[in-house]
């Protein structure tokens, strides 16, 4: 059996291990309200037993490991789902805003008497009144004013959508900056964790900080994190390493989102393009893309609109652009074939603001010459008095199938309704995806918290257990000390 003095070590080891348990419990209780703190656990192991003839006796206990209660699989799952949630958060937010600005021009009662459709109706109604009185000064003035009001509303819509796309460009740049900053912090913590654990220190609090940073990164992009043997974490994006050990490889953004100069994200040190397939950065990249917004010429009519662009913003902009540009080209074709009140050939009713750019929703105006002198409105097909042929033809455009939506010929009213319906359906789908993804993230996080979270009741129970075990080990030590004392007295 073990020597009397050897029993000292047995008792002392019990006190030491239970003291470590009390320290871990105290740490847990101190961090019970700390966001991101993981429960610390102390694992004990029986020491190698003393071998005796025909038997063996234990030689005490030791601290085998001090670790965090963490489920690595749940951490990985959480970050995967969080990347999807970050993506749909941006998509849902942008589509909600698009629906909001469209609704500002929508009819309050669901009819076409107000809003954007109402403005289109008012514009054609003004031409109808002019057709009744082709030489009327008031009627001519009403046509130019209705046209200016319609263009102002459409321009306002497009301006708000363009600003939303500029915000998406800034979202990409800000997201990449944040990703680079978080990655640098992870690399720094890698170094601290390696140094601490090599020296034998416990670095759970550093690991908690690093995990919180990785969670933040996952909302921005589709990261993959894997722990190395030395305790450092390797972070990759699209199969390319962003963080390894204490080294961080930064990302850089170039381009402005336009078709000619699209936004690209590359590795700053190599120039290679990276693949970001999730997170808020991916959503901003898609919405910032101008592909799908293009000029429309007379040769393109009827223009077949399909909402097939990556960016929902570009889809809506092009749909509105198709409405304005088609209307302008059709009216110009009729207007220039007629005669004004002075008997002169009609000029284009709509013109560009900037002659270096094509006609579009953002580059259109009522011809200043016509706006300043309504007598230049060409309502007639000849110079005969009372001729209203052109005015009548322009009035008829409201019900003619001058548009195509997904290959189907429609009039201006149906085209707009289809566009608004597409926006509503796309917005509902995004909202559903966002709600579903948010619920998944919450569910996974709840499962994760069940493992790592600190329970007051459990820690109080552990504290009593460690306290009693420590006291018992101390009593063993005291008893051995008393026995040795008595032995020394007898010998002396």
Predicted pLDDT of residue 130: 95
Predicted pLDDT of residue 1: 46
pTM: 0.86
8 Å CB contact between 206 and 196: yes
Q: In sequence order, which residues have a C-beta less than 8 Å from that of residue 207 and are 6 or more positions away? A: 38, 68, 70, 193
Predicted pLDDT of residue 363: 96
Predicted pLDDT of residue 110: 46
Each domain of the chain, given as residue ranges in start order, spans 4-69+456-491, 111-166+295-432, 170-288
Alpha helix stretches (DSSP H) within 31-105: 72-103
Tokens read off for 442: 């919450």
Rounded distance between C-alpha atoms, residue 168 and residue 255, angstroms: 13
Mean pLDDT by 10 residues, the chain (492 residues): 66 79 77 75 73 62 72 91 97 96 65 71 95 94 96 95 96 97 97 91 87 96 94 94 96 91 93 94 96 95 95 97 97 96 94 96 96 95 89 96 96 95 96 97 90 75 82 83 75 68
Exposure letters 360-393 (e unless 16+ CB within 10 A, then b): bbbbbbbbeebbeebebbbbbbeeeeebbbbbbb
Rounded distance between C-alpha atoms, residue 242 and residue 206, angstroms: 20
Predicted pLDDT of residue 106: 58
Burial (CB count <10 Å: 0-12, 13-18, 19+), residue 487 = exposed
- Strand pairing category for 233-237 and 350-351: unpaired
Rounded distance between C-alpha atoms, residue 19 and residue 143, angstroms: 90
Provide the β-strand partners of residue 158.
none
Predicted pLDDT of residue 482: 80
């Amino acid at each position: 059996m073990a020597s009397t003095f050897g029993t000292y070590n047995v008792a002392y080891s019990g006190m030491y291990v239970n003291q470590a348990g009390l320290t871990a419990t105290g740490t847990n209780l101190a961090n019970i309200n700390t966001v991101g703190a993981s429960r610390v656990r102390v694992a004990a192991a029986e020491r190698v037993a003393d071998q005796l003839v025909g038997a063996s006796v234990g030689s005490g206990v030791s601290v085998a490991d001090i670790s965090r209660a963490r489920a690595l699989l749940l951490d990985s799952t959480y970050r995967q789902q969080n990347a999807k949630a970050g993506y749909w958060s941006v998509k849902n937010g942008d589509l909600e805003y698009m629906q909001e600005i469209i609704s500002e021009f929508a009819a309050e009662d669901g009819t076409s008497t107000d809003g954007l459709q109402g403005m289109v109706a008012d514009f054609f109604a003004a031409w109808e009144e002019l057709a009744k009185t082709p030489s009327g000064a008031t009627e001519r003035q009403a046509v130019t004013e209705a046209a200016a009001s319609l263009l102002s509303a459409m321009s306002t819509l497009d301006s708000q959508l363009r600003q939303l796309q500029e915000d998406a460009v800034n979202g990409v740049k800000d997201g990449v900056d944040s990703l680079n900053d978080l990655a640098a912090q992870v690399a720094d913590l890698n170094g601290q964790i390696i140094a601490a654990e090599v020296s034998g220190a416990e670095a759970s609090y550093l690991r908690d900080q690093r995990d919180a940073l990785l969670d933040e990164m996952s909302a921005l992009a589709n990261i993959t994190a894997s722990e190395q043997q030395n305790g450092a974490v390797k972070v990759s994006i699209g199969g390319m390493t962003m963080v390894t050990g204490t080294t961080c490889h930064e990302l850089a953004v170039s381009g402005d989102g336009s078709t000619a100069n699209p936004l690209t994200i590359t590795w700053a040190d190599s120039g290679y393009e990276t693949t970001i397939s999730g997170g808020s950065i991916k959503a901003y990249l898609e919405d910032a893309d101008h592909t799908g917004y293009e000029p429309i010429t007379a040769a393109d009519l009827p223009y077949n609109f399909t909402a097939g662009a990556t960016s929902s913003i570009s889809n809506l902009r092009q749909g509105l652009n198709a409405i304005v540009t088609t209307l302008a080209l059709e009216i110009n074709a009729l207007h220039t074939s007629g005669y004004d009140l002075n008997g002169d050939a009609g000029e284009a009713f709509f013109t560009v603001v900037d002659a270096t750019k094509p006609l579009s929703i953002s580059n259109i105006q009522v011809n200043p010459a016509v706006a300043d002198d309504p007598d230049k409105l060409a309502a007639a097909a000849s110079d005969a008095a009372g001729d209203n042929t052109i005015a009548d033809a322009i009035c008829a455009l409201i019900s003619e199938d001058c548009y195509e939506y997904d290959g189907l010929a429609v009039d201006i009213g149906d085209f707009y309704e289809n566009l608004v319906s597409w926006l509503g359906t796309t917005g509902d789908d995004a909202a559903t995806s966002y709600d579903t993804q948010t619920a998944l993230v919450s569910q996974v996080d709840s499962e994760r918290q069940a493992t790592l979270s600190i329970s007051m009741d459990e820690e109080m129970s552990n504290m009593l257990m460690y306290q009693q075990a420590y006291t018992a080990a101390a009593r063993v030590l005291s008893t051995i000390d008393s026995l040795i004392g008595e032995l020394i007295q007898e010998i002396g």
